[in-house]
Chains A and B, each alone.
Chain A
Amino acid sequence: MIAMLQRLGHATLENIRGVGAASIMLFQALVGKPQPLKMFPLLVRQLYVVGVQSMLIILISGLFIGMVLGLQGYTILVDFGAEQALGPMVALSLLRELGPVVTALLFAGRAGSALTAEIGLMRATEQLSSLEMMAVDPLRRVVAPRFWAGVITMPLLAFMFSAVGIYGGFMVGVQWLGVDDGAFWSVMQSNVEWQQDIINGFIKSLVFAVVVTWIALYKGYTAAPTSPGISAATTQTVVYSSLAVLGLDFVLTAIMFG
């Protein structure tokens, strides 16, 4: 019993220590004299790796999720004779919830795990130590551009996801199942608010972007420099990011729409 409590206490302290260390890491990476000339090429490279390479999976997933929403929504709404509400249903589900959340989950799996593995491998092959010995701060050189790239790209990916998803819902609902074209868009427009839905969805995905990228970078930076260490860190990135995203989503939803 005492041993169990002690283990619980130990685990709690370890977690708090981890959060503290992660905060210090992020702080050191981002604070300091900005060097836009040096940063820009690095940032472009990371935007490519983190953003462009995640685009395809985001677009395809968005399209299919939108199509499924269209199909499921139609079968439910048609029973109430309310198939005109398909437009707002698809649009609101995507903009408020699925866009930010699914994008964040896919991003954690696609880009987050890659970031962790890459930085973990740089640690294992002593590239980070080597940077330090060359008087270059790896936090600012390696961590900072990746962080900004993640924070910039994820909301953009979420917009693409929602847009493609709504188009998928339109294809299934209107072109296949025969919901009226005009009603689909006009009812959607009268129910979707720029401020309430699109901006709030953007804020959500911005928060998720910070959290997921941060976890991925921290896990990579502190990974044990061995193959099991890196594989464990990669797994942890995906698990922790997913849990954090889903938990935060509830909190944010409660604040924004509650």
Chain B
Amino acid sequence: MENIVEVKDVYFNRGETKIYEGVSLEVPRGKVTGIMGPSGCGKTTLLRLIGGQLKAHRGQVLFDKVEVATLGRSDLYETRKRMSMLFQSGALFSELTVFENVAFPLREHTKLPESILQTVVKMKLEAVGLRGAGQLMPAELSGGMARRAALARSIALDPELIMYDEPFAGQDPISMGVLVTLIKELNKTLGLTSIVVSHDIHEVMSIADHVVIMANKKVVAQGSPEALQNHDSALVQQFLSGAADGPVPFHYAAKTYHEDLLGHENAPQKQGGSS
């Protein structure tokens, strides 16, 4: 099976903080790939690396066998037309109506006549069930509707790859269900490849064909949902079952509880020492 995205042994730091230490994963073409992991493990960073907004310090990120980081500006922009990203907040342009938001990429990158453009936008809005909401401003939409409108915008140019950044975060069960269905349907009907970054295990496991679990700056497991359910790693099992304590500790790294409460004289004199 062909991979549309391949990440090979990537190291990435943000300032002093190490985000990745040797991450490798594949995204098969035409499938829904779920990327899961605890909060703060750098899932969004991965999407930005694929989109070329960030550059890895070591290793390679390949999109359709081309290394994204080495592309020049115009090639990068050409490549980006083939992918799209659904941001956590939707990122709709607040000064444009929903209709104009969806029309935006078409107006920017195509020279379609107005009548065809109108038709295309209506089709995209219909696909997400918002054809009636075209004249609303983004501020008038509910969170779930805003995300669906953003989804319509991100499929406007018929990309090969859609990256969903936390599509389910902060959604009520109904709009969550709508989004799950939409992602699955769009992937099937438009022949897309989807990457869903999320920590909603249940939803991801239900739509993904391929799941990657990240933790501790590395990929700990990848495979089909069924394979992961039976994975023997304790970390994977902790994540999938949602246990509070385990290989990912409940406690932030600290000295022992006993020492912290009783050992004042041994405590390093660091607190408040920066003045």
Contact = CB atoms under 8 A, between A and B. Distances in A.
B88 A136 contact: no
Interface stretch (B13-21, B76-84, B174-182): B76-84
Contact of A126 (B78, B91, B104, B105): B91
A134 B108 contact: yes
B51 A133 contact: yes
A134 B94 contact: no
Contacts of B81: 134-135
A14 to B, nearest CB: 15
A133 B85 contact: yes
A127 interface: yes
Interface string B217-244: 0000000000000000000000000000
Interface in A121-136: 125-127, 129-130, 132-136
A132 to B, nearest CB: 6
Interface string A104-132: 00000000000000000000011101101
Contacts of A133: 51, 53, 80, 83-85
A142 to B, nearest CB: 10
Nearest to B79: A135
A161 to B, nearest CB: 28
Contacts of B108: 134-136
Interface string A130-173: 10111111000000000000000000000000000000000000
A220 to B, nearest CB: 15
B89 interface: yes
Interface in B50-103: 51, 53, 77-78, 80-81, 83-85, 87-89, 91-94
Contacts of A127: 91-94
Given A134-B108, A135-B109, A136-B108, A129 B80 contact: no
Contact of B91 (A129, A136, A137): A129
Nearest to A28: B73
A33 to B, nearest CB: 11
A130 B53 contact: no
Contacts of B51: 132-133
Given A127-B93, A127-B94, A129-B53, A134 B84 contact: yes
Contacts of B85: 129-130, 133
A174 B220 CA distance: 84
Nearest to A132: B53
A134 B101 CA distance: 12
Contacts of B53: 129, 132-133
B80 A134 contact: yes
Given A127-B94, A129-B53, A134 B105 contact: yes
Contacts of A125: 89, 91, 94
A129 B48 CA distance: 9
Contacts of A134: 80-81, 84, 104-105, 108-109, 157
B80 A132 contact: yes
Nearest to B87: A126
A130 B149 CA distance: 14
B8 to A, nearest CB: 22
Contacts of B157: 134
A141 B14 CA distance: 28
Contacts of B109: 134-135
Contacts of A136: 105, 108
A129 B52 CA distance: 11
A130 B104 CA distance: 12
Contacts of B104: 134
Contacts of A129: 48, 53, 85, 87, 91
Contacts of A135: 77-78, 80-81, 108-109
A164 B81 CA distance: 51
Contacts of A126: 87-89, 91
A124 B171 CA distance: 20
Contacts of B84: 133-134
B208 to A, nearest CB: 22
B98 to A, nearest CB: 15
10 contacts: A129-B91, A130-B91, A132-B80, A134-B81, A134-B84, A134-B109, A135-B77, A135-B80, A136-B105, A136-B108
Shortest beta-carbon contacts, A-B, top 5? A130-B91, A126-B91, A135-B80, A135-B77, A126-B87
Given A127-B94, A134-B109, 7 more contacts: A125-B91, A126-B88, A126-B89, A130-B85, A130-B87, A134-B81, A135-B108
